[in-house]
Structure 1
Amino acid sequence: MPTVLFAAPLFSESASRMVRAIGSLPDVRLGVITQDPAEQADDATRRALHAHWRIDDVCDPGQLRWAIDALIQRLGRPDVLFGAYEQLQVPLAEERERLGIPGLSSEAARNFRDKARMKEVLRAAGLPCARHGLAGTPAEAHAFAQATGFPLVVKPPAGAGSQATFRANDPHELAAALDAAPPSPERPVLLEEFVVGDEHSLETISIGGRAVWHSLTRYYPNPLEVLRNPWIQWCVVLPREVDDARFDDIRQVGADALRALGMTTGLSHMEWFRRRDGSVAIGEVGARPPGAQITTLVSRATDTDFVRAWAELMVFGTFTPPTRKYAAGIAYLRGQGNGSGVVRAVHGLDRLSDATRSLATDWQLPPLGAPPRSTYEGDGWVLVRHPDTSIVNRALQEIIENVRVEVS
């Protein structure tokens, strides 16, 4: 009977889904660490728990260690210790090493977490990625810009999910980005060449350091453009043809990158670009599941519970590759109007064709009266699937052209 400890900041919808998936595995004793009290979890999530420990900050290494040791007193030494949150990967790896638990090493976790270090590892391995540099002062940032040229991407070295990420098209926009997140020698900013091309993701299952399965998506448009234009309703498409020969290059680059960074067993999420000349470039890689409902897209494209498959991988080290039956895509709905108001209505659902409605498998609409969300995932979404990728693309286009979230 394996003892599993799982850490997450909150009992969010995503984290609760993961907790239930782990708890559904046979003979697992599950302890969970969160900042939320157990009472915040829904009934099904609470039933999955054998023990719970609440702390104020799961990313504080001292508090995390205290919680782990407290759960060890209740459940015994864990066989597995993990989490999905990007900012937890290094402290969890350090705790695994302290306790002698198998898993991603702290050295490898830092390769994934520190994006400047990641780029250095990838470049040393001869892998294609954007030119980059760290700047501890505005003067260093402007010097990098002068040497590299515009546009540039400005972000924290340990960011996640496009958080605090800016595109600078000229010296004035670079200065504005530096004012928003002033660099210092202790907290430098990461500057990267802005790669012109189509942006994608690559999800990979690795076992024992070997890539054994993959999936990929295409973003329409790129996330940075979405962040710069809060009115844009955007889409993520998982094509059925992920094994097509046109993706051979990124599959090989992805496997080589994971090997260079030190991936062992787990699910990784890589953001990558197809440049205008057809070549590929790595954006960044996370040693964690993807966000933006991509795990749900994989689930619907394969008629499986992909989150449970990931849980089985992390707990037992086993994975059964699912059969891809469909293309799948998700349209993100973003509030239109006064961004400081509240959601007043959702318009246009009645204008969707019966054909598009029949393809929808999942959707989430914002409650009326709720404030609009500032994240790039927006205020709601609709997920569709069909065996033909082109039909999925047309359905998504119809959704984003007709459905509007009114903010007033």
Structure 2
Amino acid sequence: MPEVLLLSRQPLAKRPLQDWLDDTADSIVLVTTPKAVEGAEDVLAEHFPRHLLVDDYHSWAAERAAEEAAREHGVDLVASTSESDVLRAARLRERLGLPGQDTRSALAYRDKVVMKRLAREAGIRVPAFAALDGPLDLLDFIDAEGFPVVVKPRSGAGAEGVAILHTMADVTAFLDRQRTSDVPYLPGQWMAESFVRADFFHVDGIMRDGRLVHAWPGQYSGGLAERVRDQTHVGSVLLAPDDDRTAVLMRFAADVVAALPAAPLPLAFHLEGWIGADGVPVLCETACRAGGALIAEAYERSFGIQLAREGLRAQCGSGLALAHQPAAPATALGWVLLPPGHGTFVPPAEPCPVPGSEVTPLLEAGTRRQGVEHVADAAARAFVGAGTAEEVRKRLADLLDWWYATAEWR
């Protein structure tokens, strides 16, 4: 087994890296945080005796300490579990002369301006966009493209920090957020793009050397940034093999992966885009990591592969468990994150009556909440299976009717 420096701030109690990786005690040098190992100190001691705990995980000092640990232990590979570590892992590989995704590839998958420039140069349709180095760039973009405008962090994830601007009052509100923003209002940090009105999709899978190994598309219930704004649910349904959009989106994902600088070792990927009225897909963004919310679990239920686990194992030198494209999901499947409301949670008194449904509460009765705080925020999660994708959609609609009628917030 190769020696691997693993950057991970994922809680060991929730993401069991020791079960995902082989011979961890002998091959992994884990760089993590004290918070990530709380309640799992025995796991850390048994499976990751070579570890480095850093308090300020994203600091320059932590990155320097990671390099020193890599050199001390003579590692062969650098791996990461979070999107925020993709670029720093690539820079470490280059500095140490190690194989894997390089900085050019990592930057294309992290910086949405770089990503969309490369996609556009390859003939892939993208919304009108511009880098924002100051407020006048935003005003110039609005003058040129009109409202509505989407403003987002160039290296963001999970729709964090995204603002949809419809009026100049919204512009003022966005600028007033500067004092409390986690993303600094500085050159290189923000971008603007035209708002796209169309059905929203995702494609998830494994890629290697600029090609898809395997993947499958799904259709979102709506936009992710809109979920927080509208305080509503978010979900997805896997597309059927005979749905015309399945082939369109699979070709689209292959084109996007081919357009961006390739990584030699397999990586999970998550792509989002729209299909316009003319049937041509438009790129929203892509990332070299497994999809969030319930996407990875839905993929596992359909194809037997947990994408986050598969992608991490591949970074660490293990072979792929699935190395070909399946013809179809094992079953028609959909999922939804059910939103927290305002007040004290009173869960439904009876189980969900919708056939093929599996609802798991995520909040205890009596929990007080003040609505949806981020894209993955939920009071409960649900999966629905059926014989066809269309039947899944109908059952999800019935499940939502049941939830909104029976879950109370007092």
TM-score normalised according to structure 1 size: 0.87
Residue pair 2:216, 2:250 contacting (<8 A) in 1 also: no
Task: State the Cα distance separating 1:329 from its structure 2 match.
Answer: 1.6
Paired with 1:27 and 1:210, the residues of 2 have a C-alpha distance of 33
Tell me which residue corresponds to 1:69: 68
CA spacing shift, 1:184–1:331, aligned 2, 3 Å: closer
Task: State the Cα distance separating 1:44 from its structure 2 match.
Answer: 8.4
Tell me which residue corresponds to 1:23: 21
Task: State the Cα distance separating 1:333 from its structure 2 match.
Answer: 1.3
Task: State the Cα distance separating 1:353 from its structure 2 match.
Answer: 1.6
Paired with 2:287 and 2:219, the residues of 1 have a C-alpha distance of 17
1:116 aligns with 2:113: yes
Tell me which residue corresponds to 2:142: 145
Residue pair 1:4, 1:28 contacting (<8 A) in 2 also: no
1:383 aligns with 2:388: no
Q: Describe the superposition over 1:36-90 as per-residue Cα deviations: whole angstroms up to 9, x where unpaired.
A: 35641547854543432111233224312313433653xx322321213122111
Task: State the Cα distance separating 1:364 from its structure 2 match.
Answer: 4.2
Could you tell me the percent identity over the aligned residues?
Answer: 22
Task: State the Cα distance separating 1:293 from its structure 2 match.
Answer: 1.9
Task: State the Cα distance separating 1:13 from its structure 2 match.
Answer: 6.1
* TM alignment of 1:345-364, pairs within 5 A: 345-347=346-348, 349-350=350-351, 352-353=352-353, 355-356=355-356, 359-360=357-358, 363-364=360-361
CA spacing shift, 1:235–1:13, aligned 2, 3 Å: farther
Q: Describe the superposition over 1:160-217 as per-residue Cα deviations: whole angstroms up to 9, x where unpaired.
A: 1100001111222222222224785535531100011011111131223322211222
Residue pair 1:52, 1:71 contacting (<8 A) in 2 also: no
Gaps of 5+ in 1: none
Residue identity in the other structure for 2:31: I
147-156 vs 209-218, which moves further = 209-218
Task: State the Cα distance separating 1:268 from its structure 2 match.
Answer: 1.1
Paired with 1:12 and 1:334, the residues of 2 have a C-alpha distance of 26
Task: State the Cα distance separating 1:296 from its structure 2 match.
Answer: 0.4
1:331 aligns with 2:331: no
Paired with 1:53 and 1:332, the residues of 2 have a C-alpha distance of 35
Give the 3-state SS of the residue equivalent to 1:291 in structure 2.
Answer: coil
Paired with 1:151 and 1:273, the residues of 2 have a C-alpha distance of 16
* TM alignment of 1:62-141, pairs within 5 A: 62-70=61-69, 73=72, 76-141=73-138
Gaps of 5+ in 2: none
Tell me which residue corresponds to 1:279: 280
27-36 vs 206-215, which moves further = 27-36
Give the 3-state SS of the residue equivalent to 2:88 in structure 1.
Answer: helix
Paired with 2:269 and 2:198, the residues of 1 have a C-alpha distance of 22
Paired with 1:37 and 1:146, the residues of 2 have a C-alpha distance of 46
Residue identity in the other structure for 1:120: R
Aligned pair partner of 2:171 in 159, 170, 174: 174
* TM alignment of 1:4-403, pairs within 5 A: 4-11=4-11, 16-17=15-16, 19-24=17-22, 29-37=27-35, 39-42=37-40, 46=44, 47-70=46-69, 73=72, 76-181=73-178, 184-186=185-187, 188-230=189-231, 232-241=232-241, 244-264=243-263, 265-316=266-317, 318-319=319-320, 320=322, 321=324, 323=326, 324-338=329-343, 343-347=344-348, 349-350=350-351, 352-353=352-353, 355-356=355-356, 359-360=357-358, 363-372=360-369, 374-379=373-378, 380-403=380-403
Paired with 2:224 and 2:148, the residues of 1 have a C-alpha distance of 15
Task: State the Cα distance separating 1:259 from its structure 2 match.
Answer: 2.3
Runs of 4+ in 1 over 6 A off after TM superposition: 25-28
CA spacing shift, 1:374–1:275, aligned 2, 3 Å: same
Task: State the Cα distance separating 1:145 from its structure 2 match.
Answer: 0.6
Residue identity in the other structure for 1:233: H
CA spacing shift, 1:45–1:161, aligned 2, 3 Å: farther
CA spacing shift, 1:348–1:235, aligned 2, 3 Å: farther
Residue identity in the other structure for 2:63: L
Paired with 1:102 and 1:247, the residues of 2 have a C-alpha distance of 34
Paired with 2:387 and 2:68, the residues of 1 have a C-alpha distance of 49
Residue identity in the other structure for 1:336: G
Paired with 1:303 and 1:89, the residues of 2 have a C-alpha distance of 25
Residue identity in the other structure for 1:4: V
Residue identity in the other structure for 2:152: K
Residue identity in the other structure for 1:117: V
Paired with 1:181 and 1:82, the residues of 2 have a C-alpha distance of 33
Paired with 2:103 and 2:305, the residues of 1 have a C-alpha distance of 32
Paired with 1:282 and 1:226, the residues of 2 have a C-alpha distance of 20
232-241 vs 127-136, which moves further = 232-241
Residue pair 1:206, 1:266 contacting (<8 A) in 2 also: yes
Paired with 1:181 and 1:198, the residues of 2 have a C-alpha distance of 31
CA spacing shift, 1:27–1:386, aligned 2, 3 Å: farther
Residue identity in the other structure for 2:363: P
Residue pair 2:205, 2:290 contacting (<8 A) in 1 also: no
Residue identity in the other structure for 1:403: W
